[in-house]
Structure 1
Amino acid sequence: MDNEIIKLEEGWAEIDKSIEKLIRILSQENPQESLTRKEYAHVYTKCYTMCTQRSPDNFSQELYTRHGERIKDYLESAVMPVLREKRDEYLLKELVVRWKQHEIMDKWMRRFFMYLDRYHVKHHSLPELHEASLKLFRTIVFQEVKPAFVAAILAQINKERDGEVVDRFLLKQCVDIFGKMMPQLKVYTASLEEPLLADTREMYRKKAQEWIEQDALPEYLRKAEASLETEGERVDNYLEAQTKPRLQGVVMDELLAQHEMALLEKEGSGCRALLRDDKSEDLARLFKLYQKVENGLEPIAAIVKEHVTKQGVEIVKKRETVLASAQSQKEKDAHDPTFVQSLLDLHEKYQSLVKKEFEGDSFFQKALKEAFETFVNQDVGKRSNAELLANFCDRILKTGGVKLSDTEMESLLERTVQLFSYLSEKDTFADVYRNQLAKRLLMNRSASDDAEHSIISKLRLRCGAQFTSKMEGMVKDLLTGNDFKKDFKEQVRTKPEVLVQASLASELSASAPGDLVVIDGVEFTVEVLTTGHWPSYKMVPIELPPELLKCISVYQAFYDNKTSQRCLKWVHSLGNCSVRAQFKRTYDLQVTTLQACALLQFNAVPEDEYISFQDMVTRLNVEEEVAKRILHSLSCAKHRVIEKEPKSKGISRTDKFKFNSSFQSPMRKLRLPMASLDESSNPKRVQEDRSIAIEAAIVRIMKARKRLSHQELVAEVLSQLHFFSPAPRVVKRRIEHLIDREYLERDESQANFYKYLA
């Protein structure tokens, strides 16, 4: 091996020859010229030897310095003169070419001086050859041409925005150069992205002013949507990914955020017009665009709330007009299915809008809720909306009401319960609904047991088990009552003599169909109800006919023997009878027990003899008001089986009654409805229940907190009461009651504070 020492100038001269050849190859002066493996090995060996010689002949530092100087000289003498002559697109193409050449040169130079990178650079903590080479390019070339380079790129982007065709691949190559100048895209962000964003902002600021003046809102939104998509595609094609949200953010700010209220309030085509004309596609576009804008949805939601509220108030005003012009306000006030149906249709329409076009966004759900709470609780007439909604439920759940399939019934119930959720007086609804449910169950008038269970489940889901406990108890009570019916019939079948001995009856039989038993020729059955679950009914004492007294005595004997710890109370106003009446033909009259008692009184007098009102009151042993309702249903309603003298629409104390021998009807079975003796809703009972609930909440809160100010206590009470919204003065009154009953006391040091008394 030749161990001759290589001097610096001698060795560098040979290395520089290969570098010169590399530069000629890059400039393509001679396309046939190339570096051979032998030449590369020779240069590498020279560098290696010069770097491994012992001092003072170790030239590692000198070679490292000359490596940088050679690249610097190449950039200054060969690259920059050419670039200074180029402009616009030609500058972009030339810089891309020069950067590629620089990368090739840097690669070969690192190969030539590889030993420096491996040992000298690391040992002396110097920049690696690649870093040094990149820094030279960045300092000498890029910094000088950068202003013109950035301007040329922006010019190409603006041309594309104006509809011209540009070389996207070239732009992508130019952008890549920015990314390679420094790590983490620092140069790209500061040198290209920021100017691009500023240029974009200015351009779309001018476009926004132009479009607002000439376009309606739907067309403006379409242009804004197209602009966002175009800018997004531009980033995907040749810009860095980090630019996409920033660039689109500028577009949204200039086109949407800065002009939101002007666009929404645009006369003839703004958000209100879109809602009025049901422009679902445009509303969906409006939502999608402003969903990306910070705080962009709140103004839209406010307009939606205002619009829905206006629609609802119009429905309420329409009801006011109908009631004012109705001939029978009392009847129209109690049952107005069209009003409730209008509210349901309105809710379905805008709930669908919120779900589909507004994608169920919480702002719009809240707007819909607040809008409906505004007008759903605006009561018109004597009946509250809670009562009307309960009456509507009764209408669709009872037989003879609206004819619906199971699917339609389920859908309508779901929509009705959604409307119910906006009521502030949920307890009033519950009170009315429970009374009507009781009537449907006891009169066997439920159209569907599944529907009854379904709506109770929906109410429980929204209001909790406590809200529906009595309703569920009523349904379960009937199932328990069925067991009593079966046991009663079984005892009549197996041991009739025991019941005969303990009662007034003489003959019992279990031959009747279903749960009925025959007691001295009368088919009879009993519904046993638990007092706590059912509404409190008015107990009407009445003189029962002997046939019914026998039936009652038999069942009383059975019940006393079965449950000695319980007491039966007979509610005759809820009883039903089928009475066979002989006119010119025979009819089966479906009546209440009270009506049956009144009809049987006419068997005791000749056919054309009158019974006075006072005599009827005495015979039945009932209050006059009760007698009036009974006789009105028999003599003034649709089927007048009793003839009244004088003929009038009402019942007075001087009237007299007789059997209507001329009565005729095409139907054999007739139902004679009677006005209920119990109100569907008892406001006094509701107020009492509310007082109890308020006091319970006060005691519960004070027991946990021990000491609270008046304002804090009232606020917490109101937050805990979900079924109604009492006025603060009502809460204050209940607090005073609790102080009087020594549950609470005022703090002696601060009169505005209360203390809990254990």
Structure 2
Amino acid sequence: MTEAGSEIITFERGWEEIQTKAIDKLESILDDGFKNVKGRMFGNEDYIQVYTLCYDMCTQRSPYNHSRELYQRHGETIEAYLTAKVLPALRARASQGGTILLNELQKRWANHQVMNKWMTKFFNYLDRFYVKHHSLQTLSQAGLRHFKQNIYEEIKPEATSAIIALIDEERDGNMIDKTLIKTNIELYENIGMGNLESYTNDLEQPLLDATRDYYAKKRELWIVHDSTPEYLIKAEKALQDEKDRVHDYLNPLSENKLLKVVEEEVLEKAETILLEKEGSGCYVLLSNDKSADLQRMCRLFSRLDNGLDPIAAIVKKFICDMGMEIVQQRQSRLEAGEKDKNDDPTFVKALLALHEKYLGVIKSDFSGHSIFQKALKDAFVEFVNKNVGQYKNTEFMSTYCDRILKSGGEKLSEKEVEETLEKVVQLFSYLTEKDVFAEIYRNQLAKRLLNGRSASSDAEKVMISKLKMQCGTHFTSKMEGMISDLAVGADSKGEFDEHMKSTDVKMDFSVQVLTTGFWPTYKSPEINIPDQMSTCMDIFKTWHDQRHQQRKLTWVFSLGNATVRANFGKKTYDLNVTSLQAIALNLMNGGKKKTYEELKQELNLDDSVLKPLMHSLSCGKYKVISKSPASNKINSTDSFVANAKFSSNTRKIRIPMASLDATHNAKKVDEDRNYAIEASIVRTMKARKTLKHQQLVAEVLSQLAFFKPNPRAIKKRIESLIDREYLERSADDSQLYNYLA
């Protein structure tokens, strides 16, 4: 409102004064490039005069309120300056080169920001009332809109091309003015007035397209001239450079898009060629232990969706080839005449070394990624279960454990024993016949425990605990029962030893009572025993029956051992032998000569027991018995007598005897497997009630952890369960089974 009596300001007079005091001066400063500006462009007094004039023109009563005309003239003034001065200058520079254009655009954009600021200041009262009341664009927004419509829309194609050209120069290793690019890119960002649509559409998308073209050409060039490691070094540098480029002058939101384009062009489209490149591909890098190159390969291709899958496939093939080479080496040794036996530490150590090495490679070079762990597992499953010769790899692994755990085996420290057992258990996890391993291991554990050959009871427990963690309580329950049996038996042994002292028997005699369910089943020949042993056995039986009336004792002579005092000439020896060997030696005491048939009758033994028994005494390292005719084989026509010429530098001699029992009972393993398959079938059908044949087989296979049965074996057990009326076939579909409660 003007005061009463004050002079009305016409629009023409008021605008002429604004033009003279503010706009002409502002445009002159911009045209001169701020050369004559010292301090502020407009002093407080000058600014207040223009602002007050504008205020007065906006607060006069209608029809003299000039708010609408001032708002309109504000826009026309900016637009006129842009079209008359700025646009011609930019057009002129556009034909002179990209950098010249960008420098001019940088200058004109900076000038416009100054102009927009002061024009907004001068007409600020419009913003506060007129613009707000009529919901118009603010003066600042209007100024930006005019620049966008009159300058940006026309010049953006050339500007975008100039920016991309400079970026490509930098990619080629040339120095560029990053500040120039950054300030021009800010124009794209700000011109959107609150959104990045202009930046995204007008600069980012053309840049992405140009980047794709640039790196497509680089890819073709690098693939031809560079090895895979050299290519990947360049690819890694390109990705880092693009990331730095975003940090230096692009909008942060462009980073993922830009890197994605580079990844697609230099990695995804070249992956197969790079991985399979002759002389430098992934397989070759693995062969030559190129750790740094493999790490880079994993790091780069992990950026792609499923980018690690092809590498994992090569890793699996490579490890599998290395494993099959070890298997082939064993085959070659056998073909060269090496004796095939159930103990091959060279083979097992080679597998352990291979596993340790590539477990480390997976961890260090492939960051322990699960896909590579699976590749390692799949490879080992493939060749660890590849048997050569008459013995299975399960037996080699169990026998290797036996070497480590028994006294006189591998010479290892306590720490080395535990570390080796851990490695063996890792290898064991790849076996598909874990139940066979368990059976063999339990038999060998029993021998160590019963013969007092365990190097360390703690090591035995450690191994059992490792197997328990791998396979569960059910897998190791019998082994733990064996350990427990011996602990309980130690107390009973002490009590019986005290009892023996009160008898007239002057022989050291002790008995180990075993629980049938925990221990393997052994051959127990009904041998004719001498009176001394019979007396001791009767004493123990009487003593035991008084304490455990409900228990039945069964004597297993094949497991017993004895120390026999033997005199050969003037020398005396202590022979550590089995109970069977001791009985046979006692029968031949005093130089008695016996034929094979006489021994067979007097001992009451069949050939399967007597032949290995006499072989151990007459054909082994310590020939305490002479056999005639002399040979390394026991025949039914042989005769035997104590070896009067026997001599040894060792007073205490252990004479081993071949085991009468196989390392495992294959028939029992098959029976246990049948029970496990049937239990899984019944468990599944009880839960599902009705199931198709293929689904049932798949369910059973997924549940059986200790072995992988043939689907035909599962079908056979299904038939058995149908016969026993646990299941029935559907009357409508022969492939559908129903559970019978």
For Structure 1 versus Structure 2, the TM-score category normalised by the shorter chain is over 0.9
The residue aligned with 2:684 is 701
1:699–1:743 CA contact under 8 A, matched in 2: yes
| Shift of residue 276, structure 1, vs aligned partner | 2.2
The residue aligned with 2:286 is 275
SS in 1 for 2:563: strand
SS in 2 for 1:569: coil
**Counterparts of 2:17 and 2:532 in 1: how far apart (Å)?**
137
**Counterparts of 1:90 and 1:680 in 2: how far apart (Å)?**
89
The residue aligned with 1:591 is 577
The residue aligned with 1:146 is 156
The residue aligned with 2:266 is 255
Question: For residues 34 and 359 of structure 1, do their structure 2 counterparts lie closer, same or farther at Cα, with a shift above 3 Å needed?
Answer: closer
2:41 maps to 1:39 = no
Of 376-385 and 266-275, deviating more is 266-275
AA aligned opposite 1:424: T
2:702 maps to 1:691 = no
SS in 2 for 1:589: strand
2:272 maps to 1:266 = no
Match of 1:6 among 2, 9, 19: 9
Match of 1:229 among 237, 240, 243: 240
1:519–1:551 CA contact under 8 A, matched in 2: no
The residue aligned with 1:305 is 316
| Shift of residue 659, structure 1, vs aligned partner | 1.7
Of 126-135 and 653-662, deviating more is 653-662
**Counterparts of 1:233 and 1:725 in 2: how far apart (Å)?**
54
The residue aligned with 1:727 is 710
| Shift of residue 453, structure 1, vs aligned partner | 2.0
Match of 1:620 among 578, 603, 611: 603
Match of 2:554 among 547, 555, 569: 569
2:449 maps to 1:441 = yes
2:505 maps to 1:520 = yes
The residue aligned with 1:452 is 460
Of 664-673 and 280-289, deviating more is 280-289
AA aligned opposite 1:712: Q
| Shift of residue 322, structure 1, vs aligned partner | 1.6
AA aligned opposite 1:37: N
1:519–1:550 CA contact under 8 A, matched in 2: no
TM-score, structure 1 normalization: 0.93
SS in 1 for 2:588: helix
| Shift of residue 2, structure 1, vs aligned partner | 4.5
1:323–1:333 CA contact under 8 A, matched in 2: no
AA aligned opposite 1:749: D
1:344–1:415 CA contact under 8 A, matched in 2: yes
Question: For residues 106 and 487 of structure 1, do their structure 2 counterparts lie closer, same or farther at Cα, with a shift above 3 Å needed?
Answer: farther
Cα deviation, 1:481-510, whole Å, max 9, x if unaligned, reads 223234444xx2xxx5xxxxxxxxxx615x
| Shift of residue 537, structure 1, vs aligned partner | 1.5
Which sections of structure 1, spanning at least 5 residues, go unmatched? 497-506, 510-517
AA aligned opposite 1:324: E
The residue aligned with 2:533 is 548
| Shift of residue 58, structure 1, vs aligned partner | 2.2
The residue aligned with 1:515 is none
**Counterparts of 1:439 and 1:36 in 2: how far apart (Å)?**
106
**Counterparts of 1:365 and 1:107 in 2: how far apart (Å)?**
62
TM-score, structure 2 normalization: 0.95
| Shift of residue 679, structure 1, vs aligned partner | 0.9
**Counterparts of 1:159 and 1:757 in 2: how far apart (Å)?**
79
SS in 2 for 1:334: coil
Cα deviation, 1:69-125, whole Å, max 9, x if unaligned, reads 121122222322222222421221222222222222222222222222222222211
**Counterparts of 2:113 and 2:445 in 1: how far apart (Å)?**
87
1:697–1:717 CA contact under 8 A, matched in 2: yes
AA aligned opposite 1:220: Y
| Shift of residue 519, structure 1, vs aligned partner | 6.8
SS in 2 for 1:195: helix
| Shift of residue 327, structure 1, vs aligned partner | 5.3
Match of 1:126 among 136, 151, 160: 136
2:420 maps to 1:420 = no
| Shift of residue 427, structure 1, vs aligned partner | 0.8
2:394 maps to 1:386 = yes
AA aligned opposite 1:553: D
SS in 2 for 1:754: strand
The residue aligned with 1:499 is none
Of 238-247 and 27-36, deviating more is 27-36
Match of 1:175 among 165, 185, 198: 185
2:102 maps to 1:117 = no
2:242 maps to 1:241 = no
Of 166-175 and 242-251, deviating more is 242-251
**Counterparts of 1:59 and 1:698 in 2: how far apart (Å)?**
94
2:518 maps to 1:537 = no
The residue aligned with 1:205 is 216
**Counterparts of 2:648 and 2:368 in 1: how far apart (Å)?**
57
| Shift of residue 57, structure 1, vs aligned partner | 2.4
| Shift of residue 162, structure 1, vs aligned partner | 2.1
2:729 maps to 1:718 = no
AA aligned opposite 1:228: L
2:127 maps to 1:91 = no
AA aligned opposite 2:367: E
Cα deviation, 1:555-614, whole Å, max 9, x if unaligned, reads 3233222222322222221112122212231111111111111112233xx43x302222
**Counterparts of 2:675 and 2:268 in 1: how far apart (Å)?**
52
SS in 2 for 1:708: strand
**Counterparts of 1:519 and 1:301 in 2: how far apart (Å)?**
74
SS in 1 for 2:195: helix
Cα deviation, 1:397-456, whole Å, max 9, x if unaligned, reads 211111112232222222211111111111111110110111111112122223222222
The residue aligned with 2:67 is 60
AA aligned opposite 2:62: S
1:24–1:30 CA contact under 8 A, matched in 2: no
**Counterparts of 1:184 and 1:671 in 2: how far apart (Å)?**
92
AA aligned opposite 1:137: F
**Counterparts of 2:536 and 2:11 in 1: how far apart (Å)?**
134
**Counterparts of 1:527 and 1:365 in 2: how far apart (Å)?**
46
Which sections of structure 2, spanning at least 5 residues, go unmatched? none
| Shift of residue 346, structure 1, vs aligned partner | 1.8
AA aligned opposite 2:412: L
**Counterparts of 1:565 and 1:180 in 2: how far apart (Å)?**
97
AA aligned opposite 1:130: S
2:644 maps to 1:664 = no
Aligned residues: 729
Cα deviation, 1:723-747, whole Å, max 9, x if unaligned, reads 1111111111111111111111111
The residue aligned with 2:440 is 432
Of 480-489 and 204-213, deviating more is 480-489
**Counterparts of 1:106 and 1:471 in 2: how far apart (Å)?**
89
Match of 2:471 among 463, 467, 474: 463
**Counterparts of 1:449 and 1:121 in 2: how far apart (Å)?**
92
Give aligned-pair identity as a percent. 51
SS in 1 for 2:577: strand
2:501 maps to 1:508 = yes
